[in-house]
Amino acid sequence: MNIHEYQAKELFEKFGVPTPKGDVANTAEEARKIAESFDSNLYAVKSQVHAGGRGKGTFKNGYQGGVQIVKTAAEVEEAAKNMIGEVLVTHQTGEEGKLVSKVMVADAVEIEKEYYLSILMDREHSCPVIVASTEGGMNIEDVAEETPELIHKEVIHPLAGLQAYEVRKLCKKLGLSGGTAKAFAKTLKSLMKLFIECDCDMVEINPLVTTPDGEVMALDAKFSFDDNALYRHPEIQALHDPSEEDPREVEAAKYDLNYIGLDGNIACLVNGAGLAMSTMDIIKHSGGEPANFLDVGGGATQEQVANAFKIICSDPNVKGILVNIFGGIMDCDVIAKGIVAASKEVNLEVPLVVRLEGNNVAAGKETLANSDVDLIAADDLADAAKKAVAAIS
């Protein structure tokens, strides 16, 4: 799960990571009032969407820049007016962009230098890894590509935690000394504590800046939390913004379905994650593109199957459906009944290929045969994939 920058700012404050003054606004007028509430000669007005690259983004209304630095409260209002209710396109949003419904108004601090700092759970090392660079700012992807030697990494032992020598090593690599190094060390320790205590997958600050008076401040924040640990953090769960997510996934989550939306046009409904992965593989192998990953699980109910079927049928990108069930724990007839129930509510307009095998398969096939669901029966997985691809070509 990801959160917005203004929500991340609250977590930073709680754990002692310094950030500029600021607050979130839902309207341009609120934005002006926030600016008026603290006196500054420069304000940053920042679109709140779950995507990076806002600074260099462009709104569909032609307005340039999802982050604006302006001088007066009136200009804050003007910038907010251009952002709220508009769609921002950045290199991370895809062409469709993201609707901005909130902006953050922050004190624009004087920047001496921009750094990059992140902590992420690294699967290769099975440890948290700190990534830092002197080349912070808006082009970190290019830095990683062109000058990877400027990106420094420190693998942190999960039990021993962040050690003083590791902090000193990073300070040296970043060329920090004196008061700035001390401020950086304090910030990094706070960030590490936050990362561990909140069960984060990733915390990224780009830029982390130094100011002319030796302060260190986080001017941006991207967070990603481990979904499997969210149950331990109801206060973080409460920050969830469903409008930022694929609506198909939001719907699937309501019914406890393991669904991930993809870009292809052959939807699949499968029981078991491994079988779902191989179904996607074989669709690709047969020349098609899967529209989703969907594992209804071993113990799915008829209602869950029906809801899963409705979700894939309501996806306008879907041109064909492949149901691939190998009934081990799963009863094939439960799947068949779910499909029949759902097809009464949705208008099935695309070809449906069904492969059923295993537990109670005869009853499942009979349920389908006795219904008026129009389907193409398949014998095995390869046959099913071939038939699904052929049906949409």
Q: Give catalytic residue positions.
A: 116, 204
**Which part of the chain contacts ligand ADP (CB under 6 A), choosing from 33-41, 44-52, 124-132, 385-393?**
44-52
| Among 4, 54, 319, 337, contact with ligand ADP (rule: CB under 6 A) | 54
Q: Which does 378 bind (CB under 5 to 8 A by kind): Mg ion, ligand ADP, none?
A: none
Residue 307 neighbours by CB under 8 Å, 6+ apart? 251, 252, 254, 255, 257, 342
The residue behind tokens 């069960």 is 199
Beta bridge partners of 23: 105
Residue 113 host element (H or E): strand 113-122
Sheet arrangement for strand 67-70 = 22-25, 103-107, 43-47, 67-70
Query: φ and ψ at 129, to 5 degrees?
Result: -125, 130
290 upstream amide cis, omega within 30 of 0: no
* Residues 221-240 as x/- pattern, contact with ligand ADP by CB under 6 A: --------------------
Nearest-approach distance from CB 54 to ligand ADP, in angstroms: 3
Nearest-approach distance from CB 279 to ligand ADP, in angstroms: 37
CB contact at 8 A, 55 and 65 = yes
Give whichever of 88 and 368 is closer to ligand ADP, judged by the CB atom. Answer: 88
Nearest-approach distance from CB 29 to ligand ADP, in angstroms: 21
Give whichever of 22 and 320 is closer to ligand ADP, judged by the CB atom. Answer: 22
CB contact at 8 A, 14 and 190 = no
Q: Which does 109 bind (CB under 5 to 8 A by kind): Mg ion, ligand ADP, none?
A: ligand ADP
The Cα–Cα gap between 230 and 232 comes to 5
Helices 361-369, 332-345: axis angle to 10 degrees equals: 20
Q: Take residue 287 and report the two structure tokens written for it.
A: 């020349």
Nearest-approach distance from CB 64 to ligand ADP, in angstroms: 13
Nearest-approach distance from CB 220 to Mg ion, in angstroms: 4
Q: Which of 183, 226, 174, 221 is nearest to 201 (CA)?
A: 226
**Which part of the chain contacts ligand ADP (CB under 6 A), choosing from 109-117, 150-158, 180-188, 369-377?**
109-117
Binding to ligand ADP by residue 83, rule CB under 6 A? Answer: no
Give whichever of 46 and 98 is closer to ligand ADP, judged by the CB atom. Answer: 46
Q: Which does 320 bind (CB under 5 to 8 A by kind): Mg ion, ligand ADP, none?
A: none
The Cα–Cα gap between 306 and 107 comes to 51
Binding to ligand ADP by residue 97, rule CB under 6 A? Answer: no
Nearest-approach distance from CB 236 to Mg ion, in angstroms: 21
| Among 6, 45, 83, 137, contact with ligand ADP (rule: CB under 6 A) | 137
CB contact at 8 A, 96 and 118 = no
Chain residues that interact with Mg ion, rule: CB under 5 A: 206, 220
Biggest CA pair distance of the chain? 80
| Residues near ligand ADP, by CB under 6 A | 20, 44, 46, 52-55, 67, 69, 106, 108-109, 111, 114, 137-138, 206-207, 219-220
